[in-house]
Homo-oligomer: A and B are copies of this chain.
Amino acid sequence: MTAPQAADVVVVGGGLIGTAIAWQLRLTGRSVVVVTGERSAAASGVAAGMLAPVTETTFTEGALLALNQASISQYAGFVAQLEEASGLPAGLRRTPTLSVAGNSDDAAQLAALAAYLDRLGLDCERLTSRECRSYEPLLSPTIRSGLLVAGDWSCDNRLLWAALVEASRRAGVLEVPGFVHQVESEHGRVSGVVLADGTRWMTAAVVLANGAWAAQVGGTPPIPVRPVKGQILRLDPVRMPPPSLTIRAFTAGQEVYLVPRDSGREVVVGATVEQLGFDRRVTAGGVYELLRDARQVLPVTAEYVLSETSVGYRPGTPDNAPILGPCELDGLLLATGHYRNGVLLTPVTATAITHLVERGTLPEVASGFTLDRFASDRLAPDGSAQDGSAQDRLAPEQLAPSGSPDPPPAQASATRGTT
C-alpha cells in the first residue's frame, strides 16, 4: 500500500455541485482533490436544467425560496466567470418559462399558483389560450390558460458541467476517479478519506457532494438523503421546429416540462418521480407517460426523434431542501440533498461552502439548511424545529456557527419532478 497523499480539501463527488465547489475552493489557493465517483451515473448529466425559483414555488417555501432566488441572482455572474475561466459555453438561456394548463382542472391549479405567487410578490403574467399560442405557436390549441414567468430560465446542465470540469482542471483541481467509502476521523475531527480501491487521502476538510449517494459513505453522521428516481427523455426536433420557451404544463393533473436548448437539437422532457431506490431501468410506462403528456401540450413532439431515455436520482431529503454546511463531525462539510434544484442551486452552494471554509460561517441565506435541523432533539412533539444546534461541536477556528432561522416546512410532492 502506498503512503497516503494529502490535500487541504477532498471533495466527494464530481457532479455539478462537487465540481463547482472544488473550483471555487481552489481559487482561494487551497489544494483540492475531487473524488469523482461514477460521473455517468450522476444526476448532473440527466437533469433538464430548469432554473425555476418562481414556477417551482408550489414546492418551495420560506427559506428555500430565498435560497433559490439567491442562486438565480448569482447565475449570470457565475456563468460569466465560468465561461471566462473555462473558455467553454456554460449553457445559460435567459428566455422566459411558460406554464400552461391543459384542462379546466389544470387551469384552476394554475390560477391557484398565480394567486399564491401574487401573495409572495413574485412576478408572473396571466395569459389566455390565444396569448399562450402567440408566445409559443407550437402549443396545442386545447391549452386553457398560461402563466409567463420572465425570471425562470434554463441552463444546459451538460454544457455547464463540462465547463465546470474544464475550469476546475485549469485552476489546478486534482481529479481522482473512484469512490470514497470511508471518512476517517480522530478525536471527532476529519483526518482523511479511504477510497474503494484502498487509496487514502489525508485532509482536514471533506466536502460531501455526492448527491443521492450521500448516505452510503462510512464514518459520517447519518445523512437523511434518499434516491428519488426520475425518468427523462431527450428529443431531437430534426426537421421540425423546437419550442422557443421552456414549457411547463399541468395536463390532466400530470406535470410535464419541455426544455429546449439553444442548439435547436435537443428538447428535454421530464420527469417521472418514483421512490424505488437505485433502479436504473427505463420503464415502458415512464416513457409512455412522458411522451403522452408532451404530445398533449406540444403535438409536434410526436415528429421529433426520441434520441435518449435516461434515469437519474434526485437526492431527496425529509423536507426536500438541501443539506448544507457543517455537521457534528468537525471538518465534514455537507453539500447534498438538492433534490429537484441541483442545477439551480449550484452557484449558491459553491459560494456558501467557499464562504464557510474561508470565514467559518455559512452565509445567512444558507444557514437554515444545516443537517442539525433534522436532529431528533431539535424536534418539538409536534415535529416542528426548536432552537438549538450542533454548532458548539464545531471547531471555531475553521467552521464558525451558522444562524438557524426556521427550516423550510416538510413537503410531500406527489406530482412529477423537476431538476
Within 8 Å of chain B (Cβ to Cβ): is A418? no
CB-based contact B305/A281 at 8 Å: yes
Chain B residues near A295: list those with CB within 8 A. Answer: 284-285, 288
Among B282, B283, B285, B302, which residue has its beta carbon within 8 angstroms of that of A284? Answer: B302
CB-based contact B302/A235 at 8 Å: no
Chain B residues near A238: list those with CB within 8 A. Answer: 281
Q: For A291, give the chain B residue with the smallest CB separation.
A: B288
CB-based contact B305/A284 at 8 Å: yes
CB-based contact A302/B282 at 8 Å: no
Chain B residues near A284: list those with CB within 8 A. Answer: 233, 235, 291, 294-295, 301-306
Chain B residues near A305: list those with CB within 8 A. Answer: 281-284
CB-based contact A287/B285 at 8 Å: no
CB-based contact B287/A306 at 8 Å: yes
Q: How many copies does the complex hold?
A: 2
Q: For A287, give the chain B residue with the smallest CB separation.
A: B306
Interface footprint category on A: 20 to 34
| Residues of A368-409 whose CB lies within 8 A of B | none
For the complex formed, measure the closest distance between the CB of A397 and the CB atoms of chain B, giving whole angstroms: 53
CB-based contact A292/B292 at 8 Å: yes
A303 to B286, CA, bound (A): 8
| Residues of A240-288 whose CB lies within 8 A of B | 281-285, 287-288
A303 to B292, CA, bound (A): 16
Q: For A233, give the chain B residue with the smallest CB separation.
A: B284
CB-based contact B288/A288 at 8 Å: yes
Q: For A288, give the chain B residue with the smallest CB separation.
A: B291
A287 to B281, CA, bound (A): 17
Within 8 Å of chain B (Cβ to Cβ): is A220? no
For the complex formed, measure the closest distance between the CB of A240 and the CB atoms of chain B, giving whole angstroms: 10
Most buried by B among A288, A295, A301, A303: A288
Chain B residues near A283: list those with CB within 8 A. Answer: 302-306
Among B233, B288, B301, B306, which residue has its beta carbon within 8 angstroms of that of A292? Answer: B288
For the complex formed, measure the closest distance between the CB of A286 and the CB atoms of chain B, giving whole angstroms: 8
Chain B residues near A288: list those with CB within 8 A. Answer: 288, 291-292, 295, 302
Within 8 Å of chain B (Cβ to Cβ): is A185? no
Within 8 Å of chain B (Cβ to Cβ): is A140? no
Chain B residues near A294: list those with CB within 8 A. Answer: 284
CB-based contact A302/B281 at 8 Å: no
Chain A residues proximal to chain B, CB less than 8 Å: 233, 235, 238, 281-285, 287-288, 291-292, 294-295, 301-306, 309
Q: What would 20 A/B residue contacts be, using CB atoms closer than 8 Å?
A: A233-B284, A235-B284, A282-B305, A282-B306, A283-B305, A284-B291, A284-B294, A284-B301, A284-B304, A284-B305, A284-B306, A285-B291, A285-B301, A285-B303, A287-B306, A288-B295, A288-B302, A291-B291, A292-B292, A306-B309
